[in-house]
Amino acid sequence: MVGTMDRPPAVSVCPTIAILKKRADFLRAARAKRSGTTGFHLQARERAAGEADGIRVGFTCSKKVGNAVARNRAKRRLRAVARTVLPPHGRDGWDYVLIGRADVTATLPFPQLVADLERALAKVHQ
């Protein structure tokens, strides 16, 4: 497999954004600030100094969202929204978790999801 080391990993959102993978990080975000929108829920927390650098984001969709195909589609759309909105609007030193909603995240128009995330970030950062 020549050239596979040159490509970024498939789960990467963007070079400036790291992915949350540990359950403890998701649980810490769940105890912090929240903002609900039409398309998804946002949980956000400011990390302690020295904990990690940059913006970190996690994605989750429960079985309420649907079968595996529906959950994966919803997460793909959430990753695309995060890739678009978080670099200009997210804050360094914060963790964000986007949680998909049943029947909505996978079907809402993409511009609506972008507007929802921008509005949710503004509310969380007040």
pLDDT at 1 over 60: no
Dist CA 13 CA 17 (whole Å): 6
pLDDT at 12 over 80: no
Backbone angles phi, psi at 80, to 5 degrees: -65, -40
Q: Which pTM value belongs to this model? A: 0.83
- pLDDT average, residue stretch 60-68: 91
Q: Regarding beta strands 17-19 and 33-36, do their DSSP bridges make them parallel or antiparallel, or are they unpaired?
A: unpaired
Per-residue pLDDT at 48: 87
Q: What is the mean pLDDT of the chain?
A: 87
Condensed to tens digits (0 to 9), the pLDDT of residues 65-103 reads 989 999 999 999 999 999 999 999 988 889 999 999 988
For residues 9 and 85, which has the higher predicted lDDT (pLDDT)?
A: 85
Per-residue pLDDT at 122: 93
* Domain 17-124: top CATH class: alpha beta
Residue with tokens 């809402």: 108
